[in-house]
Amino acid sequence: MHPTDSAVPDDIAAWRASHARDGAANLREMRSRAAQAAASCGAYVRVMEPSASSSGVLAGVPFAVKDNIVVAGAPTTAGSLALDDLLLSPTASVVRTLAAAGATVVGKANMHELALGVTSDNAGYGAVSDPRHPGRSAGGSSGGSAAAIAAGSAAFSLGTDTGGSMTIPASFCGVVGMRPTHGRYAGDGVLMISQSRDTIGVMAHNVGDVQFIDGLISGDTTAGSAGTRLGVPQGAYWDQIDDAVRGAAMHALDELAYHGFELVEIDLSDVQARALEHRHDLVGYEAPRALDALLQASDLSIRSVAELVGEVRSPDVRAALAGFVAAPVGERRYRAALRLRRDLRAIVKHRVLAAGVDALVYPSTPVVAVELGADRAVVNGHESPLFETITRNTETASMLGHPMITVPAVRDPDRPPVGLTIESLPGSDRDVLATAVEIERVLRAGGSRRMPEAAS
């Protein structure tokens, strides 16, 4: 069955209903779709045998788990063949919470090797593509988590985010992806590359399902307040983006304004510039230390990042690891980056409150999904560095630990997806979700009208 077929269940309620009608058939269908997604778009590195509970609010609901999150009994490779024999336990708390609610893991989702990239062009396990646009990247590093949803093989998925690894693949694949406030979810059982930035996140077909899963994981089930006054950051958020993205995002903002949302320009260009200038300082210090600690505590023959360099398959990841070894980030630079983050958080909070906006809204990525194997991004016909371009709009919120969620800006099957990100201040997750529900409702209704060709 094609993943865009209308018969494919696309939400939690549909999977639950299917399981209630015939649990055995539902389990077979889960595995079949996961296996198909693994074969057709590289969504999974490992398909598992589902065994759903007959009780619980998620009974019969399949979910995918990014392969840097521990599920006991299955290897946790972080998308690297170098770690293919790494068996860890116990299962991550977030996964245990969902399993206790009745959900079942259908597979470990493919990813950019060691979570050090934004395309999930994995040279060991294979590249991950957008199931609906097979020649294009699913994004990263949580590309498999997004592709699993877009392929209809899971009701929701877990990924992780360092600098946009939830919202970028959600944007590229046309699904919903949320990065919560840093620290909102338990972080145990995750092969982190940055303790100060990494967080588990949730993807699904719609905001309501993400909202539901967030409540289960966090224990916070407050309704949240939907905001209608949205701040539109200026500067590079809009100036340095491809026309296809600009057209789709502006079309979405026009729809929101028509339906009663108030759009207010807000200047965060200096904040964005400073965040981008120091984007690598926290990860550059924390990643090699986290990887060294993991390797030294394991039974693997590889004992250090220096030894790992020659074992990874993806050239860009190998180059990143070599950079960690050759030009390490020192303690002074790291502490300065932590102070900068504190200062930038205060600046953003002051400007958001002064402008009286409920959330920020902007294009998730400056470009649509790049072609598989691309090593450069193309913005309006001009080549630009791949990683720096794709992460430009997600980096600041991720660095500051803000909650943000990406929803499809325009639903047009003839065009590559474009995501719209809603972001707000730390701790406002339920308000962000409530706002995203309303934004999604407007954009889904507006999606019946095609974008003008001139705006594409």
Catalytic residues: 66, 141, 165
Place of tokens 């092969």: 191
By the 10 Å C-beta count (0-12 exposed, 13-18 middle, 19+ buried), 239 is classed as exposed
The per-residue DSSP string of 79-124 comes to: T-GGGTT-B--SPPHHHHHHHHTT-EEEEEEP-SGGG--SS-EETT
Residue in 123, 164, 158, 163 with CA at minimum distance from that of residue 144 = 158
Amino acid at 296: Q
**DSSP designation for 78:** T
- Residue 371's CB is within 10 A of a number of other CB atoms, namely 12
Asked if residue 158 lies in contact with residue 63, where contact means CB atoms within 8 angstroms, the answer is yes
Give the H or E element holding residue 277. Answer: helix 269-277
| Tokens encoding 97 | 């919470």
Contacts of residue 342, defined as CB under 8 A and 6 or more positions apart, other chains included, come to none
Residue 173's Cβ-side half-sphere holds a number of Cα atoms within 13 Å equal to 40
Residue type, 106: V
Local structure of 308: helix, strand or coil: helix
Tell me the H-state helices in 101-242.
143-150, 167-173, 207-218, 236-239
Q: What three-state secondary structure class fits 260?
A: coil
> How many residues are present in the chain?
456
Please say whether the beta carbons of 266 and 231 come within 8 A: yes
Rg for the chain, CA atoms, rounded = 20
